[in-house]
Chain A
Amino acid sequence: MISRTRLHGLVFVATATAIVMWLSFNFSANLAARGMTIDFGFLSAPTSFPIGESLIAYSSGDTYLRALTAGLLNTIHLALSSIVLATVFGIAVGLAARIGHPLLTSAAKTYVEFTRNVPLLLILVVCATAVRGLPAPRQAWILFDGVILSSRGLYLPMPVFSGGWALGIAAVILASTTSVVWKWSLRGRSRLGSFPFASRISLTFCVAGFASLVVWICLTTSMDWPRLTAFNFRGGWSVTPEYLAMMFGLGFYTSGFIAEIVRGSLAAIPKGQSEAAASLGLSTLLSLWLVQAPQAIRLTLPPLANQYLNLIKNTTLAVLIGFPDLVSVGNTALNQTGRAIETVSIYLLIYLSLSLITSMIIRRLERRAQVVKL
């Protein structure tokens, strides 16, 4: 006699198979009726549209694959900088809520409620409108020497490293040697109570190495300053207004959620901890840095990971703002080629793998934070 769970499993599989077969039958019938085929060959065909900004060299006429890659890189670039911005803002607002000043606390609360209860798209649209109101290049705002904000975007001076590969290789060798020496010295210190003589000498050499690396960088690096030409700025490092709007909108929206996580996890630490730290004579900042933050970070990581994942998914709203991320490039490709199914399946594949990669990284970080727990 067959067991009940077995039977239920069989029924489920049979139903699911029937539904999938029905759907695929419809699918092939509809494809045939519309004369459509599924073919990823368009990826190697030449495009006929430009992309506003790209991290890799791209021009109209390159392949669709290259256009989509440029879009994907834009997505990743935008996501990374927004994550940094959101984290910095979020931690600042979360800490402001913990200072104990009533006005700061209520300001932080308002900030959090605002981001929670207003649609992200509205915030992004407002940012995009604000960016369009920036002054023309000739009346640009010069925030600092070389930092220029105008309707053409943000221009920053960019260091040009002429040291080349040798500089990078030297830096990597020096950093890895230092980390090995440092670990070895720590082991020596825990054995002897203080750093042994040999490790003091080698640490001195490491410091000297870093100093000479800095001197080398300073000697070989020149700054590329943005300068005004007829209608625009040339040189330096620049981002477009759409990028700025997306970065600030996403950063602002996500920072409210992060602030609440930071505030909540600091509040969840028993009061005895900060009282004990205070009675040991630690200042408020030191108690936060050495006692509360290391414990709070363990509570912070899982919800923080969720917010980072949300932010990465929310970069897709760029299509409504006009920033060329993966979806907006993909939609242009879709409109040009009519390859809807192929483009949409590329979206699904890429966003699923982005989500999986991010959660993998965060899980690894979580494990490291757990090791700290004794």
Chain B
Amino acid sequence: MSDLAISAVVRQRPTIAKWMGALFNPWPHALVTILAAAVVSYGAVELVRWAVIDATFRAATPDDCRAAGGACWSMLRARYNIILFGSYPPEEYWRPTATVLLVLGLLVASGFRTLWKPWLAFAWVATMIGSAVLMSGGLPGLPDVPTSKWGGLPLTVGLSAFGIILALPLSVLIALGRRSQVGVVKRFCDAYVEIVRGLPLLAVLFVASTLLPLLLPFGGNVDTVLRAQIALVLFQAAYLAEAIRSGLEAVPRGQSEAAASLGLPDGLVSRLVVLPQAFRIALPAIINTFIESIKDTTLISVIGLVDVLGGARGAIADGVWMGFYGEAYLAVGAAFFAFCFILSLHSRRLEEDFARERR
């Protein structure tokens, strides 16, 4: 191939000159540019004035804040504990902090493909037990804290992370069941996914909180946090099963046929050949489901649990700091956005990696 042909194939990187040209080039673009510049600069000036110049950062009373006229970050300073930990006893704050750090650390570790080994599953199980013990106490040195006192970040992080981890094996079973040759199994799994996906999470949470205690023995003393966790797992499993099924369908038939012709039994064909590939293809979709589940965790407030958003609503609900909605919602929204955005960037990077490797 001649050099000319190669240079024609190489994609031109947009230069600054070209970018500037698009800002003004057909003349209506110039109008949009000027209008947008005016709106953005006005907005930025107002935002900086509110959030920095007129804002109160030091410890202050609500009246100081109202006098200053800007954002009242002192509110967050005074009420961070309610937003982050709900009504957990203040002298025990290190326990929810440790739980959140533990779960987040393991979550980050699970993001690296080199660490995808069997011990990761054991680490998750250990973390689940460990954080439950750490949060509820009962051991010497760890005073009992009933789940009714739990709240804030540990609930948001724990319920969404454990939810997805517990839903994963269940959803693999369901996805495999939908491809089963056994008619009853296939129909059951199909029906499960269709029904759960047709229901709002809020309704599922209500079902869990009213029906679960009645369906289990011993008069059904199921803790509210556990009910929410079960509802989230059952709900996310249907969505994850759909993601994994699309991964399974993307694995070429030749793969399982080749494995079968090597003499592998059906179970091993799935476990060693089809599932690893399907999982890789489905991973971006799985992470997107995880993002949705983080956002969905805010709904647990409907059965009386206090997550981060519920904590923020609680922090400004009493008479003292009433009216500082903007600061509280901005802080919580920024936290959710940052966490979910990082995850979605990661999912997009994985997608590109896999696409490149498959070429």
Whole-angstrom CA separation of A118 from B325 in the bound complex: 16
Name the distance in Å between B290's Cβ and chain A's nearest Cβ: 12
Whole-angstrom CA separation of A151 from B295 in the bound complex: 29
Residue interface mask A295-327, B partner, CB < 8 A = 1: 000000000000001000111110110000001
At the interface, yes or no: B210 with Cβ under 8 Å from chain A?
yes
Partner of A23, one of B180, B215, B344: B215
At the interface, yes or no: A229 with Cβ under 8 Å from chain B?
no
At the interface, yes or no: B138 with Cβ under 8 Å from chain A?
no
In contact, A327 and B22 (Cβ under 8 angstroms): no
At the interface, yes or no: B211 with Cβ under 8 Å from chain A?
yes
Cβ of A125: which chain B residues have Cβ within 8 Å of it?
Answer: 309, 313, 329
Whole-angstrom CA separation of A355 from B238 in the bound complex: 15
Cβ of B219: which chain A residues have Cβ within 8 Å of it?
Answer: 30, 33
Cβ of B195: which chain A residues have Cβ within 8 Å of it?
Answer: 352
Given the known interface contacts A16-B188, A26-B217, A340-B210, the answer about A351 and B329 at a Cβ–Cβ threshold of 8 Å is no
At the interface, yes or no: A237 with Cβ under 8 Å from chain B?
no
Given the known interface contacts A121-B298, A317-B202, A355-B198, the answer about A341 and B19 at a Cβ–Cβ threshold of 8 Å is no
Chain B residues packing against A (C-beta within 8 Å): 19, 22-23, 29, 32-33, 36, 180-185, 188, 195, 197-203, 206-207, 210-211, 213-217, 219-220, 291, 294-296, 298-299, 301-302, 309, 313, 325, 329, 332-333, 336-337, 340-341, 344
In contact, A344 and B210 (Cβ under 8 angstroms): yes
Kindly list 7 other residue pairs between chains A and B, CB separation below 8 angstroms, not including A30-B214, A119-B309.
A13-B184, A23-B215, A26-B217, A118-B337, A121-B299, A122-B333, A347-B206
Cβ of B211: which chain A residues have Cβ within 8 Å of it?
Answer: 341, 344
Name the distance in Å between A267's Cβ and chain B's nearest Cβ: 16
Partner of B341, one of A13, A113, A351: A113
Q: How many residues of A contact B (CB 8 A)?
A: 49
At the interface, yes or no: A348 with Cβ under 8 Å from chain B?
yes
Partner of A117, one of B213, B214, B217, B344: B344
Whole-angstrom CA separation of A120 from B298 in the bound complex: 9
Complex: chain B residue closest to A7, CB-CB:
B182
> Which A114-140 residues have C-beta < 8 A from chain B?
114, 116-122, 125-126, 129
Cβ of A27: which chain B residues have Cβ within 8 Å of it?
Answer: 214-215
Interface residue stretch chosen among A63-71, A102-110, A182-190, A217-225: A102-110
Name the distance in Å between B116's Cβ and chain A's nearest Cβ: 25
Whole-angstrom CA separation of A314 from B309 in the bound complex: 17
Partner of B213, one of A8, A30, A129: A30
Closest 6 CB pairs of A and B: A355-B198, A117-B340, A313-B200, A119-B295, A316-B202, A340-B210
Binding site of A, secondary structure by majority: helix, strand, loop or mixed?
helix
Name the distance in Å between A108's Cβ and chain B's nearest Cβ: 12
In contact, B329 and A122 (Cβ under 8 angstroms): yes
Cβ of A347: which chain B residues have Cβ within 8 Å of it?
Answer: 203, 206-207
Whole-angstrom CA separation of A116 from B28 in the bound complex: 30
Partner of B199, one of A102, A129, A351: A351
Whole-angstrom CA separation of A135 from B136 in the bound complex: 47
Partner of A348, one of B201, B203, B301: B203
In contact, B200 and A9 (Cβ under 8 angstroms): no
At the interface, yes or no: A31 with Cβ under 8 Å from chain B?
yes
Name the distance in Å between A270's Cβ and chain B's nearest Cβ: 17
In contact, A118 and B295 (Cβ under 8 angstroms): yes
- Which among A33, A129, A315 has the greatest number of chain B C-beta atoms within 10 A? A129
At the interface, yes or no: A40 with Cβ under 8 Å from chain B?
no
Name the distance in Å between A176's Cβ and chain B's nearest Cβ: 35
Q: List 6 A-B residue pairs with CB atoms under 8 Å apart, sorted by A's residue number.
A: A16-B188, A103-B32, A119-B298, A121-B301, A121-B309, A317-B299
Whole-angstrom CA separation of A80 from B36 in the bound complex: 32
Partner of A352, one of B198, B217, B298, B329: B198
Complex: chain B residue closest to A113, CB-CB:
B341
At the interface, yes or no: A216 with Cβ under 8 Å from chain B?
no
In contact, A122 and B344 (Cβ under 8 angstroms): no
At the interface, yes or no: A211 with Cβ under 8 Å from chain B?
no
Complex: chain A residue closest to B22, CB-CB:
A102
In contact, A101 and B22 (Cβ under 8 angstroms): yes
